[in-house]
Structure 1
Amino acid sequence: MLRVGSSDQGRYLAWDEVRHRQSPEGLTVEQWWTGMRLARDQVARQIPSEPARWRPFTYSLVDPVLEKLHLMDQQAAGRLSAPAPILDPSTRDRYAINGLIEEAIASSQIEGAVATRAAAREMIRQGRKPRDESEQMILNNFAAIRYIAEVRSADLSDEIVLTLHRMLTEGTLEESFAGRFQLPSDERVVVTDVRDGTVVHIPPPAAEIPERMEAMYRFANGVEGGFVHPLVRAIGLHYWLAHDHPFFDGNGRTARALFYWAALRAGYWLTEFVSISRVIVRAPVRYGRAFVYSETDRNDLTYFLIHQLEVLEEAFAGVWGYVEEKQREILAAERLLRSLPSVNHRQRALIGHALRKRGFRYTFQSHATSHGVTRQTARSDLLALAKLGLLDATRQGRRVEFIAPDDLNERLQQR
């Protein structure tokens, strides 16, 4: 007698993938798929808090999920595996802010923002006003993600979700639509394929939104049901908001922000340093496909869960690589700064950046934002570096700018 498992050689395949494969001997492709679905149903877990009349969200803790959850437990919640600069209170803020900026930019790019990464980073660091809607969207994302960090300890509610949506859509969505759910009298928003306009997802009716949001909050806050792994809960929350699509626009950005809220609330503090959207934006088709596979296979979240855990794994690899790169820059700068013991860690970091970005312009605001310090502290740092001859000070109107000189290496060697 043939036994059919829930996966094929460790891969959790969707029907769209199964139908193009060779089925086991003695089975048609349809029989093979039916056997897979029955095996999955036997081990599937239901997301708690949903009324019985709704089609439930389910997931399976198959081997790929368990393996990646274990890896994320080590990387995202533990301190032993974290790079030293992230553990060091004197430098951790700079890396956290970089993660916030990267997530703000990439999450906006997923939704169509076209601003360059360099221009967006410059806008946030300099504190200047956005020039267009794309930059406004990115600035909104940055503010919203910082808000998420502030309310991580609070229970999820209408107040938090609607405030978050209002922040994310400020200046990019008609005011009457910002910060409110769709109403039964509104034309219901559907999800379409941007390439050809094909409808790929029809959300639940707007009349159900209030009840569905209350159920989502109970799930997010862990009010009902047995144990759910915190990252399963965070990814499930991401999926739930995107699936219900309660807003006119900004659903994806809100859903990704709620993932961070849930992960930080559960103690996965290192997620503050990574950008999931930067990984997603490099392969948006995979992101959309994982969602569609889950939605079309009776809301089996396992597809989306596996994809998001893979995204997290790649995001952590990226941040570790970024930290190593920055450490090499700082070490190189420190070798040249040994004769200047009065230079602090923020100034060393800026010189490390200046060595790589000749001609870059720094301001009191950009330095304060990058290091999470007051404007007065930033002012003292930059004026001291200019006095040492390591930055060139210039005035643009009322604003003082400090330029990384082309001969910075030579100047350091002369000190």
Structure 2
Amino acid sequence: MTPEFIMDYLVEYRLKGTPYLHYDQLKRRIRDAEKLLSLWQHIVMARRISATQLPLLRTRVPSARNCIPRINITALIQKSCSVVDRLTSSAAETERYEKFDAADYLMDELTLAEAIASSQLEGAATTSRVALEMLKVGRIPRDEGEKMIMGNYRMMNYVSERGSAPFNVEEIQALHRVAIEGISDDKYTPGQFRTVNDKIVVADHQGNVIHTPPDAGTLPDALESLCVFINTPHESAEDETYLHPLVKACIIHFMIGYLHPFKDGNGRTARAMFYWYMLKCGYTAFRYISISKLLKNAPAKYVRAYLYSETDEMDLTYFVNYQCEIVSRAVQEYLDYIQQFIHTRVELRSWLYDSGIFSQINTRQRELATIAINQPGILFTAAEVCARMGVSENTAREDLKKLTALGLMKAMKEGKGNVYLSPRSLFELKKWRGKNDKAASVQDW
């Protein structure tokens, strides 16, 4: 381990922005076994010295019988913390939406995105469009996949409304029960922790065991310690125990997944607790930001982030680093969506006035048409319009039919009635204009 070799490593990797490397990644870059071992020993020592220790989360892992989790704050983590501070606070949200007409319609659909994507990440085969229709209409789920999505929707509403009261072990059970109950109770055992008789492992798609959770007998103490950690105000600490809320939310996410307290539904519970903590700390935009949409696009990386932390004596930097990357991308996708929405709304509104359609409808229908044009690609129901516009459900249904006949919306069959879709673009609006085809089925959309 010469100064020259250290400089080569710094120039080749650290100064080029290489992520926080695990031994598994480093060995692919350095072929000399002796140099590899020496370098890794020095890296581990440096990381241990610089890390923030998390003694409340003491765990048992195969590589260390009594291990204290730790974390180093990387440049990527710092950048992500800055992003959420600037762009996802309640003040930023108020400024962003104060000029939107009927912004509640747009917000409603964004709040459903995480419930749908989180269930799809866990294996629900239901398409996003069918799931969205189910949640907006409020129909009874037809299969296990739809039940998973409905359960996640209940859980996301639960954490949004829960507030900042202290968390305890019973609350973790209650959260799981809200999400899982009514899907397959014998399989999931809602709100019940696994027991020593439950042989639970996490396997990949080929059936290879990639994680064996701690013994069920250790769960009571481990979860009690986790709740103490959750309730400790690290964000207001003035010493080395300080943790940014985003970092702490990611750690909570990791610990639920690692401890795996339930027979099933652990991933959904972990992500819900991440969201609860972010909302508790005032980052209100997380009601509309979906991390699961990105996680389900690369599930292997999500799993690997867990494994890297576990196999390096609970260095949680690997997992938090990856989650912060996902959060930054999710925030940017959310902002891009809003910008595209604004652009599309301007195009559609201009066409609506130029086409002369406003002269063919009454004042109430004009208001509804404006809402539809201002909310590209949004599903509407008669019951929803009834509640939001203060009219009878029959009047709401007739107004929606009138706008559909004019080509401003598209009717889609659902059960004995219809749901209505606003156009996603000016091109789609022109395509619909003047057509009176038989309503398409939501299942075919």
Q: Same fold (TM over 0.5)?
A: yes
Output the CA distance in 1 between the equivalents of 2:367 and 2:228: 44
8 Å contact kept, 1:85–1:91: no
Selected match of 1:199 from 198, 204, 209 = 209
Judging changes above 3 Å, is the alpha-carbon distance between structure 1 residues 96 and 157 closer, same or farther for their aligned structure 2 residues? farther
Structure 1: stretches of 5+ with no match in the other structure: none
Distance 1:203 1:398, change over 3 A: closer
Change (3 A) 1:392 1:325: closer
| 1:213 corresponds to which of 223, 231, 234 | 223
Q: Do the aligned residues in 2 keep the contact of 1:190 with 1:203 (CA within 8 Å)?
A: yes
Tell me which residue corresponds to 1:155: 166
**Residue identity opposite 1:100 in structure 2:** T
Q: Which residue of 52, 56, 61 corresponds with 1:49?
A: 56
TM-score when normalising by structure 1: 0.84
Secondary structure of 1:49's aligned partner: helix
Counterpart AA for 2:30: Q
> Size of the alignment, in residue pairs?
400
168 and 300 in structure 1: CA distance in 2 versus 1, 3 angstrom threshold: same
Match of 1:178 in 2: 190
* Aligned: 1:74 with 2:74: no
Quote the Cα distance in structure 2 between the aligned partners of 1:27 and 1:393: 68
Q: Please state how far the C-alpha of 1:237 moved relative to its aligned partner.
A: 0.3
Q: Verify the 8 A CA contact 2:101 2:374 in the aligned structure 1.
A: no
Asked if 1:281 corresponds to 2:299, the answer is no
Distance 2:317 2:59 in 1: 20
- The CA deviation at 1:61 is 1.1
Structure 2 length-normalised TM: 0.79
* Structure 1 residue 230: Cα displacement: 0.5
Matches within 5 A, 1:309-348: 309-338=324-353, 339=358, 347-348=369-370
Deviations 1:375-406 (A, max 9, x none): 85776555445456546889988646558798
Q: Residue 19 in 1 paired to residue 30 in 2? A: no
* Deviation of the 1:350 alpha carbon: 2.1
Match of 1:199, as an amino acid?
V
For 2:31 and 2:273, the matched residues in 1 are separated by 40
Note the alpha carbon deviations across 1:31-63, whole angstroms, 9 max, x for none: 111111111011111125235884222100122
Which of these residues, 24, 45, 48, is aligned with residue 38 of structure 1?
Answer: 45
> Does 1:304 find its partner at 2:319?
yes
| CA displacement 1:237-263 (0-9 Å, x = unmatched) | 000100000000000010011000010
Once the two structures are overlaid, the 10-residue window that deviates more, 118-127 or 30-39, is: 118-127
Q: CA separation of 1:377/1:265 partners in 2, compared to 1, >3 Å: closer, same or farther?
A: farther
> Out of 113, 123, 129, which is 1:118 matched to?
129
Give the C-alpha shift of residue 365 in structure 1. Answer: 3.6
Assess if the C-alpha contact under 8 Å between 2:74 and 2:321 holds in 1. Answer: no
Q: Which moved more, 1:219-228 or 1:30-39?
A: 219-228
CA deviation map 1:78-112 (0-9, x unaligned): 644x5965345754433432232211111111111
Q: Say yes or no: does 1:349 pair with 2:357.
A: no
Whole-angstrom distance in 2 between the partners of 1:65 and 1:164: 28
Matched, 1:164 2:175: yes
- Residue in 2 that maps onto 1:250: 265
CA 149–392 in structure 1, closer or farther in 2 if over 3 Å, else same: closer
Q: 1:64 to 1:396 in 2, by over 3 A?
A: closer
Q: Which moved more, 1:231-240 or 1:117-126?
A: 117-126
Q: Mark the CA change 1:367 to 1:275 in structure 2 (over 3 Å): closer, same or farther.
A: farther
> 1:267 — aligned with what?
282
- Greater shift, 243-252 or 212-221, is seen at 212-221
Deviates more, 1:215-224 or 1:382-391: 382-391
| Secondary structure of the corresponding residue to residue 114 of structure 1 | coil
Contact 2:195 2:217 in 1 (8 A): yes
Q: Is 1:107 matched up with 2:118?
A: yes
User: Which is further off, 293-302 or 389-398?
Assistant: 389-398
Q: 1:236/1:345 Cα in 2 relative to 1: closer, same or farther (>3 Å)?
A: farther
Deviation at 1:123, TM superposition (A): 1.1
- What amino acid sits opposite 2:57 in the alignment? E
Moved more, 65-74 or 102-111: 65-74
Amino acid at match of 1:204: P
Whether the 8 Å contact between 1:238 and 1:259 is mirrored in structure 2 is: yes
Q: Percent identity?
A: 29
Contact conserved, 2:119 with 2:152, CA < 8 A, in 1?
yes
Which residue of 364, 375, 381 corresponds with 2:382? 364
CA contact 2:97–2:103 (8 Å) conserved in 1: yes
Q: CA deviation at 1:374?
A: 7.8
Contact 2:159 2:276 in 1 (8 A): yes
User: Structure 2: how far apart are the matches of 1:398 and 1:52?
Assistant: 55
Q: Say whether the 8 Å CA contact 2:382–2:400 is kept in structure 1.
A: no
Cα distance per residue 1:332-381 (max 9 Å; x no partner):
33224444665576642324567x69xxx84324557xxx8488577655
Letter in 2 for 1:287: Y
In 2, Cα distance between the equivalents of 1:397 and 1:76? 38
